[in-house]
Amino acid sequence: MRYVRHILKYSLVGLSTGASIYYLHKNDYSFSHIGVVRFARVGLVACRTMLDYKWTLLGLDADSSIYNEKIQKCHQRGAERLLALARRNGGVFIKVGQHIASLQYLLPEPYTTTLSVLHSNAPESSFEERN
């Protein structure tokens, strides 16, 4: 029984390693198309944007003109990060960026105007690149 478990464990490790190597070889060893990498980028951008808001607005009175000025700059930086993320990750992230750009009734203006570029100027890929 123990022998069978060892064989099963090493077979599973070998199969997953082989599948990973095949996938990377098929994509010219490009790590940027792996889902884990894409979602790690999303997490980094989200954390960076959250910290930007937190540190920029720390200790400011929400009714002051300085607060309004700084939050607008935070909105713009966050929107630019989202735009760069959508362009870098491509695919469905472009579609999410387009959807965010259409939420003018819900989101701050810098987000919708910055991401509206994805409606008319989205990156294109050829049919061969998609297969």
- Give the pLDDT score at 72: 96
Q: What is the pLDDT of residues 21-63, one digit of tens each?
A: 776 677 665 655 667 788 899 999 999 999 999 999 999 999 9
- Give the pLDDT score at 125: 63
Who has greater pLDDT, 19 or 112? 112
Residue 18 pLDDT > 70 = yes
Cα 31 to Cα 7: distance, rounded to the nearest angstrom:
30
Element (DSSP H or E) covering residue 13: helix 2-26
- Give the pLDDT score at 34: 67
DSSP letter for each residue of 28-56: TT-GGGSHHHHHHHHHHHHHHHHHHHHHH
How many residues are recorded in the chain? 131
Cα 53 to Cα 39: distance, rounded to the nearest angstrom:
21
- Give the pLDDT score at 49: 97
Q: What is the pLDDT of residues 69-125, one digit of tens each?
A: 999 999 999 999 999 999 998 889 999 999 999 999 999 999 999 999 998 876 666
Residue 129 pLDDT > 70 = no
